[in-house]
Amino acid sequence: MKFIQACSQLVLLILLAGASAVLAAEGGIPNSLIDRLNKTELEGAGKAMADVVANKSIKDVALNRERFIAHNSIVNHKIETGNITNQKSSGRCWIFAGFNAIRPQVMKKYDLKHFEFSQNYLMFWDKMEKANKFLQLMIDMADRPLDDRELEIVIDGPMGDGGWWTYFTDLVEKYGLVPKEAMPETYNSSATRMMNKLIILKVKEMSLQLRRMASLGAFPQEVAMEKEKMLAEIYRLLVMNLGQPPTEFVWRYESSNDSIGIVTHPKKFTPQSFFKEVIDVDLGQYVALFNYPGKDYYENYAMRLSRNMYDRPNFTILNVPIDTVKAYALKSVLDSTPVWFACDVGKENYSADGNGIMALDIYNYEEIYGVEFGMSKQSMMHMMVISPNHAMTFIGVDTADNKAEKWLVENSWGGDKGDDGVWYMYDGWFDRYLYGAIIHKKYLSKELAGISKKKPIELPPWDPMYPLNNLQ
């Protein structure tokens, strides 16, 4: 009897396995469906719209003219800034946005019409620090296989241009700052693709040598000495591409406090003394307020492997509702303090004919296609529909009844993009595509300032928020 029961169970399992195989085979597109689809035809207005869409850019076709006409470039509070900067063909938005957030106070302090820091100088040291971090991590992880998930992320992009707010602040605190004339742009600082490609090729080759040394049991001092030789080679390659970073320089300026102007006497600075005297700001007093739906609010989150300097902490964000981010960004801008922020810049962004408009309804995609796009912000993050990819600066806001209706955004794509280099971000776009903003602690409530000091919850480097460390 038991034998018969066992046989019956075996037969049942075989039948179920066969049924599963049939169901799996039926997962493709059946011919019957293809036949039905091929018999359908667009008619009337739908056919005419298909002709239009097939022959034009969908963005041109879907432009919401009514929304476009309703746009205006008026803001009732604007922070005075200098000329629009241009990162050109490089992924340095985080550096440009960082400088754009602090240079207005330099211009005000010295009564300058225009002023610009050297982005090239900070990029030089960023690449040196990234090279060191990569080489050291390859030593630390020498016992892992090359297809280890974390190690693959380390190997993927060791020295790219992208970065994050704390990359900026950590570099400034260690290396100081210089005015643009002390280390101006080079061709390769503004067009970094080939420079990056070749230096990354070399640093990856170096990393395998260090990995072999560590795996074979070389003394740590031997490995460290070899790494120093490699870093000296990377430094040489960077100097060839970007120029020699100054250790001291002379700065003078012309004040615009009257019709004649006052030209100062030349004064010698080091990058560190220039930072302390000209800026004199504790960059450690800023907090990253970010909106990450699906994670607990009022908690700190740190991203593992998300730093550009080996000996500095990974970046941390304080997760809050989007209205909280907005409230403190508004408070800061109304106090004439620019705000660095991160967003998905490519979504519902109209930039043509001297316009820069970020508005949810600037394109009528749903009406054109006759479908609805209804994913929540949380779902879009997790399905990788949106991703943090660009940093810019709020330099103004238009308010009504003490609420922000649209924000004035300073970009770093030059004056020929957007509306002479600026964009206007409407409130709904802020909610949907903005990830977060960097706010000085003096604007935060005591409660939020206290929460920002809590030990962060660590997230893996494959978390949807991890791309924040590669804003470009």
Burial class (CB in 10 A: 0-12, 13-18, 19+), 312: middle
Q: Taking CA 195 as the corner, what is the angle to CA 189 and CA 196, rounded to the nearest 5 degrees?
A: 100
End-to-end CA gap in the chain: 71
Determine the Cα–Cα distance for residues 321 and 124; give it in Å rounded to an integer.
36
Look up residue 385 and give its amino acid: V
Look up residue 404 and give its amino acid: A
Write out the two tokens for 340.
């660095």
Determine the Cα–Cα distance for residues 303 and 308; give it in Å rounded to an integer.
12
Q: How far does Cα 56 stand from its chain's mean position?
A: 31
Are 120 and 129 a contacting pair, CB within 8 Å? no
Of these residues, 132, 349, 411, 470, which one is catalytic? 411
**How many C-alpha atoms does 470 have within 13 Å on its Cβ side?**
14
Alpha helices in 217-351 (DSSP H): 220-242, 271-274, 322-334
SS3 (DSSP) at 350: strand
Determine the Cα–Cα distance for residues 350 and 66; give it in Å rounded to an integer.
14
Look up residue 84 and give its DSSP letter.
P
Write out the two tokens for 9.
């169970």
Are 104 and 80 a contacting pair, CB within 8 Å? yes
Determine the Cα–Cα distance for residues 340 and 439; give it in Å rounded to an integer.
8
Active site residue 7: no
Look up residue 306 and give its amino acid: S
Of these residues, 132, 188, 390, 470, which one is catalytic? 390
Determine the Cα–Cα distance for residues 440 and 293; give it in Å rounded to an integer.
23
Write out the two tokens for 13.
């399992």
Look up residue 466 and give its DSSP letter.
G
Residue written as token pair 């907090």: 287
Active site residue 93: yes
Are 68 and 356 a contacting pair, CB within 8 Å? no
Look up residue 13 and give its DSSP letter.
H
DSSP strands (E only) in 4-92: 77-78
Catalytic sites, residue numbers:
93, 390, 411
